[in-house]
């Protein structure tokens, strides 16, 4: 017998229906899943964690991570297209920061969970 399979033939239809009403739409489910896919890359997590500390330009992120500016820019494009980071230009420099408080909370919760 498998300990992880329900062995009763009874379904509480009211609970099932109540939970069904609270379920995410298919579109929102895909969007959330995409965010977690993006966060599934350790380089992008490092970039986000660095930006959690301080607004940084591409060359600073490159030096921090020991990566080429081209490789960093590629990762930043992915993060930017997912609205996880924002940027501003100052002369020839491009500075990046986290897009909003939600990203900070995601990072904090991920780090907390990983430390448990």
Q: Give residue-wise pLDDT tens across range 88-106.
A: 999 999 999 999 989 889 8
What pLDDT, on the 0 to 100 scale, is given for residue 19? 96
Cβ contacts of 106-112, under 8 Å, gap ≥ 24: 106/39, 107/45, 107/48, 107/49, 107/52, 108/52, 110/39, 110/45, 111/49
Q: What letters, b where the CB count within 10 A reaches 16 and e where it falls short, cover 22-47?
A: eeeeeeeeeeeeebeebbeeeebeeb
Percent of the chain with pLDDT over 90: 80
Read off the pLDDT of residues 3-37 as tens digits, 9 standing for 90 and up: 777 777 778 899 999 999 999 999 999 999 999 99
Q: Is the pLDDT of residue 77 over 80?
A: yes
Six-digit token string for 22: 């609270």
Domains and CATH numbers, the chain: 25-115 (1.10.10.10)
What pLDDT, on the 0 to 100 scale, is given for residue 1? 55
As beta bridge partners, residue 90 has 93
What pLDDT, on the 0 to 100 scale, is given for residue 7? 73
């Amino acid at each position: 017998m498998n300990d992880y399979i329900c062995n009763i033939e009874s379904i509480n239809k009211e609970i099932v229906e109540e939970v069904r009403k609270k379920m995410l739409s298919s579109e929102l489910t895909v969007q959330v899943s995409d965010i977690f896919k993006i966060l599934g890359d350790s380089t992008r997590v490092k970039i986000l964690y660095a930006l959690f500390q301080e607004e940084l330009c591409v060359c600073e992120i490159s030096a921090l991570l020991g990566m080429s500016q081209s490789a960093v820019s590629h990762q930043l494009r992915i993060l930017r297209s997912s609205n996880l980071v924002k940027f501003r230009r100052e002369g020839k420099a491009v500075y990046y920061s986290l897009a909003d408080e939600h990203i900070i909370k995601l990072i904090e919760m991920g780090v907390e969970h990983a430390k448990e």
